[in-house]
Structure 1
Amino acid sequence: MPEMPTKLAEIVDEFAAAPRDVVLEMMLEYADVIPPLPAELADRAGMEQVPECQTAFFLRAQVTPDGTVTTWFDCPPEAPTTRAFAGILAEGLAGASAAEVLAVPDDLYQRMGLAQAISPLRVRGGTAILARLKRQVREQTA
């Protein structure tokens, strides 16, 4: 059975081991790692909105012919927590296979210890981002 990507597992472990008072600070570092959208996605065409997020959040996952997954996220800079979720996924899933993406546990953010550091509403938004990403991958590999 595939496991989640090594890089994402390392991020999860890093957060889980961190003192609670630095978790939010660690999260905010990931808010800046989201790559800009390519020109063909600039108008968000082909991207899916995640309505569970309090802010306008869009994503797209594409399974390439070699089976790796490319992700794109669009979230305004004034939503650093939500951008951090996207940044964690962007960095942790970079180069991952479809099977590895689908192996990411649905309770990822709880495993990271984020439920103690941020509001349940934000955790729900992050969980919805992951769920939609995985659904897109599942649909493309079915």
Structure 2
Amino acid sequence: FYQVVLSYGCQAKKVPDLKVLPDISKVSLYHPDGIPADVEQTMKERWSDKMDVCIAGSCYLDFTKKGCNKGKGLSLLQKHYGITYEETAAFGNADNDISLIEKAKYGYAVGNASEGLKKAAYEVLAPMQEDAVLGKLKEILEEME
């Protein structure tokens, strides 16, 4: 898992015991063949009263502090830069993006996104592999000219 994290260009450090860390905001469970539905359900039943549990792509199950999510991050950016909900577009592909697209009037899911995200989206685009996000961004920018 450590090598996988490094392959994303992230900084990572191995620690001997999570209990020695002062403040953890996220822990990810990784399975190279995807998170089985029964594991997701069991983890949600066991931990959702203490933290948010959410699928993040097919191979990850994220555990985060309650309210510590992409939507909260976008809200902070909107407030800081004076950007309204109506002026915001967001893109996603997994359930951990639901909070993000809910904070944007124009919340887009790529065509190969999770069903949960597709249901929450303003619009479902073509699959990510077809440069759907790039195409929509070009369209938005052309409309602004």
Structure 1 and Structure 2 fold alike (TM over 0.5) = no
Q: Which has the higher contact order (CA 8 A, sep 6+)?
A: 1
| Bigger strand fraction | 2
Structure having the larger proportion of residues in helix: 1
